[in-house]
Structure 1
Amino acid sequence: MGSLEDFHQHKEIIINLGIRDDLDIPKFHSLQHYLENIKNFGTTDNYNMEMFERFHIDFCKEGWYASNGRNEKPQMIAWLTRREKRPHQARHHILDIIQDHHCQGFKKDLISYLNSQLPDPYSRGQLCHMDLPFSHNDIYHGFKFYVESLENDIDFDHEETNSVKAKPSIGGKPECFDTVVVVDTLDCETTGLKGTRIGRLKVIFKLPSQVYGCITPAWTKDPLAYVEWYAPLKPAAEDYHEMYLVKKSLPSTDGFAPGQVISLSSIRQTCQLIPHFGRTALSMEWTSDNVLDRCDTFFLNCFTSKYAYQTLW
């Protein structure tokens, strides 16, 4: 108790010296939530030392090591800013992308997408004999974005963010290819599923910089995404729980899962698919890491958040 009394006796020195305007630092602020969390959850959930230590490593230690130790703060800020803009895998070969991300139709669909951007596109027959003018792409393993505000009484008092991953298995860690709601037609709106499709995000990438303006100015510099489509949704949700039934698409004539290259900005929001277990015995081989690959039928979960409840109907 002596140390605690000493702290309270001298804590104002931090304000008196002008180090801070108040004592509401994260570790002190978290103390205000301990009693409430212990009453509600029986634990001080998410307010332990590990949370702050993780931030300290990401935002301080790694940034410091990336600097030269002199006038380090601007260097650390620049390092943090640039880190998210740099691809996780620069100049990754297309054949390796196909293998690592399990997307056999990626090259074929990328050729089709680039052809559609040309002012005078080739015919489908001509495309069968054409190849890409490059062999590598810059790959990103995820991105974050703000979803559109609904501006209603039960909307959030802060901007809702979505985090999306398209990450292959690296270093023994399981792969992660998230499911997303994609804007498909012009009649799509912020809420509801009209004009959208459900897909599984397989690749986030950018075209190599050497093709910009060299081959055609029509090809975009913006990030692109490759999604494998689920079958189109039924007009209405299921009766009992008001969730839409989502089924895997049948393979196309070439044996590949139907897919498409889209603009990354076409992704409206993330979504969660629940396996449709039915009346058969549950397969013990299903895990959270492989259920999207092994299960064929799902329900679109509209109860994961307030935002999902207001938009996935």
Structure 2
Amino acid sequence: MRPRQGRHYSPLHSILARSILSGTDVLNSHKLSQIMNREGCALNQNSNKSLLLINEKRNNKQLHHDMHTGHWWWSTQGAVDKNAGPGRTILPIILSSDKTQVTVFRNKSAYPIYMTLGNIPKELRRKPSRRAYILLGYLPTTRLEHIKSDASRRRCLATCFIPACPGTTGIVMASGDGVERLTHPIFAVYIGDYPEQILVTCGITGFCPRCTISRQRVGENTDLHPLRDLQTILNALQSIDNGASAFVKSCKDAGIKPVFEPFWANLPYSNVFMSITPDLLHQLYQGVLKHLKLWIIEVYGAHEIDARCRRLPPNHNIRIFMKGIATLSHVSGQEHDQMSHFLLGLIADMPLPNGMSNVRLLRCLRALLDFLFLSQYPVHSTSTLSLMTSALDRFHANKQIFVDLGIRSNFHIPKIHFMNHYIETIKLFGTLDNFNTEYTERLHIDLAKSAYRSTNRKDEYPQMTAWLERKEKIMRHEAHIAWLLASKPPLLRMHWIPPGLNTSRMLKMAKHPSAKLVKVSDAVEKYGATFFADALSRFIVELESPNLFGRRLDDAVDSHFLGVSSVAAYHQPSRLDRKGNIVPGRFDTALVRINNSQGFENITQDLRVGQVRMVFMLSETDMRRLFHKVPVQDQPHHLAYVDWFTPFGSKDPNHGLYKISFCNVQGGRLSSVVDIRRLIRSVHLFPKFGRVAERAWTSSTVLESCTTFFVNTDSDRHMYRLFS
């Protein structure tokens, strides 16, 4: 069946996020069309094998990114084509729910449930401002004394999903471009934290919501267990006709709670246990990483860990916890994310207090960080999935160190076990940024908290839905007026490009320098640019005569007349503020390209770490005089004075960090002037603290006081990708 081109729908003006308590069908064609019309981005997927993007390969490596590159999409498409006929478009339904507080001092909460479609590209779904998610309804939060089991409340979702039965026969719907298609809405993914996963699957706390692993083996190793058998569980749910006792016993034998008619029981082409996806926020950041952080603090002591936190050098990617991390309470996922960027550097050279080797502890933390960063890749290949498998194996191979130290007696933690399901989920549904609870957590502000604040706090749900309805109408009308004012422009057909791992960076300098007149003597004394004149002369000679080397180059530099008395600097050294307090100077470290190639075939040979002492610019008069022999395209505009560190050596086999130190020469440090375009990016360094951190060091002085450092390859995702 080919899409019919003749009929077009006008924009839908009515949206009502109804409370499930009202018993109204809210999952209908209007709801689904609403999502498709918002961005006009529903994909026209059919059974044409030439559109099978799962076969997209680069260098003979299968790629996974958006949801349609997963095996689930195409196996379900094949089943629909076989049962209902070819030429049909499936609409994978993605649901998410989470209970949230809507007041600060009162015990008022809301339980919103959100919905989106897998046809929408993840670049739109992960931006709440693009409104790819809609509010499906509010689950009841009232305490009901006659209902003892919280899981029983999940039966309310069955009211929502009665209209989802067209997943079998299909329903004609229109997308954002007005074209009608025969579609099959199919429940595909449920996004939620561990308590939500247990409630949705009617599972038992402490067990895995996906597979059949026993409670005593959870978190032990990477052995995969089969998914829960859906047919067995459906048979147990149907035993309600045999009486309450038989029903409870059948459900207990099947490993679920006795819930009457869960919403997923009669949904076509759906398996709720397969639909449970990883949750980076709660499983890794608020789960495994949180546990590991607490265990490390217990091993080394809060006093020393906090002392090292306060002495990390500043970097725009690193948050300095000046009060330490051991005494923090109610730590958020964002804060755990910030800790993950420096946790390894705190213990890289720190021996265990009882004389045991710290090798296994370092390898365990290194493996977890590898798994954490790899799992956030926007695109995966067979190679990166193999790296994830290797990292998970290394984590389990070394975690026994915490048992030997007396910190743990076992690892029966469901969040540790669920890491085993990450790779298979990526193969089924695409990369993990397709389903992240961070997106829906942000929706709580607009669709729950703000809506509640607009009410009079009495009988709030009708008022909240009315407020949301009016707000949606205003936004739609605003978009319609903007479209009319733009003379009704047609929809733009943009060529879609798969996501990649390489990021493009553009250098952008401030329009005006911080100090317009800095004498050369001040550059030496205040900025620490000890060999400023000699380094600038060498830079000019090398630029004018690139064929000079060795002694001939040294002679040319010695005989070169510089004639520069002052420069304009783009940052200030140590100074006093208006209150008379000392503001220390900040001289960050950066990765500098040391050859003339544009790419990086070998990171450790093409790049080198340098401390940027000064970013400056010569006057126009000096530029014309000093660079008149240099072609215009090669003339620099902004320059940087850099103190060099030693070249990269080999990675440490345990913590995987590079050790470097300052290059010292007679009279100071080895330095150069470089074109600022050679600065690739900033880099964060960990001081080599030793057994005990030097208490005289501070965050602002540690780069000057310490001599040996470790390169922080975990400061952000781009840095990790660069050195992985």
Band of TM-score, shorter chain? 0.5 to 0.7
Q: Secondary structure at the match of 2:534?
A: helix
Q: Secondary structure at the match of 2:609?
A: strand
Corresponding residue to 1:197 among 588, 608, 621: 608
Whole-angstrom distance in 2 between the partners of 1:185 and 1:221: 16
Corresponding residue to 1:252 among 651, 665, 681: 665
Whole-angstrom distance in 2 between the partners of 1:306 and 1:113: 33
Corresponding residue to 2:683 among 240, 262, 271: 271
1:250-274 CA-partner distances (Å, limit 9, x unpaired):
x223x12001111101011111100
Structure 1 letter corresponding to 2:654:
Y
Taking only the aligned residue pairs, the percentage that are identical comes to 22
Partner of 2:587: 177
- How is 1:98-247 mapped onto 2 (pairs within 5 angstroms)? 98-119=524-545, 123-141=553-571, 167-171=572-576, 172-186=582-596, 189=600, 192-218=603-629, 220-234=635-649, 236-247=650-661
Partner of 2:198: none
Cα deviation for residue 278 of structure 1 reads: 2.3
1:284-310 CA-partner distances (Å, limit 9, x unpaired):
101101111111111111112111111
The answer to whether the 8 A contact 1:106-1:226 is kept is yes
Distance 1:131 1:294, change over 3 A: same
Partner of 2:491: none
Cα deviation for residue 201 of structure 1 reads: 0.5
Whole-angstrom distance in 2 between the partners of 1:309 and 1:291: 24
Normalised to the residue count of structure 2, the TM-score between the two structures is: 0.27
Whole-angstrom distance in 2 between the partners of 1:131 and 1:177: 29
Whole-angstrom distance in 1 between the partners of 2:516 and 2:677: 21
1:107-166 CA-partner distances (Å, limit 9, x unpaired):
11111111222249775235335442221111111xxxxxxxxxxxxxxxxxxxxxxxxx
Partner of 1:155: none
Q: Secondary structure at the match of 2:604?
A: coil
Partner of 2:44: none
Which of the pair is proportionally richer in helix? 2
Distance 1:214 1:103, change over 3 A: closer
Larger Rg, first or second structure (1 or 2): 2
Structure 2 letter corresponding to 1:242:
G
Whole-angstrom distance in 2 between the partners of 1:283 and 1:269: 29
Q: Secondary structure at the match of 1:217?
A: coil
Whole-angstrom distance in 1 between the partners of 2:570 and 2:601: 26
Cα deviation for residue 311 of structure 1 reads: 0.9
Partner of 2:510: 84
1:240-259 CA-partner distances (Å, limit 9, x unpaired):
1111111121x223x12001
Structure 2 letter corresponding to 1:256:
G
Distance 1:296 1:35, change over 3 A: farther
Paired residue total:
214
The answer to whether the 8 A contact 1:117-1:218 is kept is no
Structure 1 letter corresponding to 2:591:
V
Q: Secondary structure at the match of 2:603?
A: coil
Q: Secondary structure at the match of 1:285?
A: coil
Unpaired stretches in structure 1, ≥5 consecutive residues: 1-33, 47-82, 142-166
Whole-angstrom distance in 2 between the partners of 1:135 and 1:213: 15
Whole-angstrom distance in 1 between the partners of 2:557 and 2:603: 36
Cα deviation for residue 190 of structure 1 reads: 7.9
The answer to whether the 8 A contact 1:101-1:202 is kept is yes
Partner of 2:423: none
Whole-angstrom distance in 1 between the partners of 2:657 and 2:101: 37
Structure 2 letter corresponding to 1:183:
R
Cα deviation for residue 91 of structure 1 reads: 2.3
Cα deviation for residue 221 of structure 1 reads: 4.7
Partner of 2:92: none
Unpaired stretches in structure 2, ≥5 consecutive residues: 1-99, 110-285, 287-329, 336-508, 577-581
Structure 2 letter corresponding to 1:168:
P
Distance 1:210 1:305, change over 3 A: same
Whole-angstrom distance in 1 between the partners of 2:555 and 2:607: 29
The answer to whether the 8 A contact 2:540-2:626 is kept is no
Distance 1:209 1:238, change over 3 A: same
The answer to whether the 8 A contact 2:636-2:675 is kept is no
- Note if 1:292 corresponds to 2:693: no
Structure 1 letter corresponding to 2:655:
H
Cα deviation for residue 213 of structure 1 reads: 2.7
Cα deviation for residue 84 of structure 1 reads: 2.7
Partner of 2:264: none
Whole-angstrom distance in 2 between the partners of 1:126 and 1:307: 40
Structure 1 letter corresponding to 2:628:
P
The answer to whether the 8 A contact 1:183-1:266 is kept is yes
Whole-angstrom distance in 1 between the partners of 2:539 and 2:626: 15
Cα deviation for residue 215 of structure 1 reads: 4.7
Partner of 1:148: none
The answer to whether the 8 A contact 1:207-1:221 is kept is no
Distance 1:184 1:283, change over 3 A: same
Q: Secondary structure at the match of 1:293?
A: helix
1:82-119 CA-partner distances (Å, limit 9, x unpaired):
x9311111121111111111121111111111122224
The answer to whether the 8 A contact 1:190-1:311 is kept is no
Structure 2 letter corresponding to 1:262:
V
Structure 2 letter corresponding to 1:241:
H
Whole-angstrom distance in 1 between the partners of 2:675 and 2:533: 16
Cα deviation for residue 186 of structure 1 reads: 4.1
Whole-angstrom distance in 2 between the partners of 1:35 and 1:222: 54
The answer to whether the 8 A contact 2:591-2:681 is kept is yes
The answer to whether the 8 A contact 1:206-1:221 is kept is no
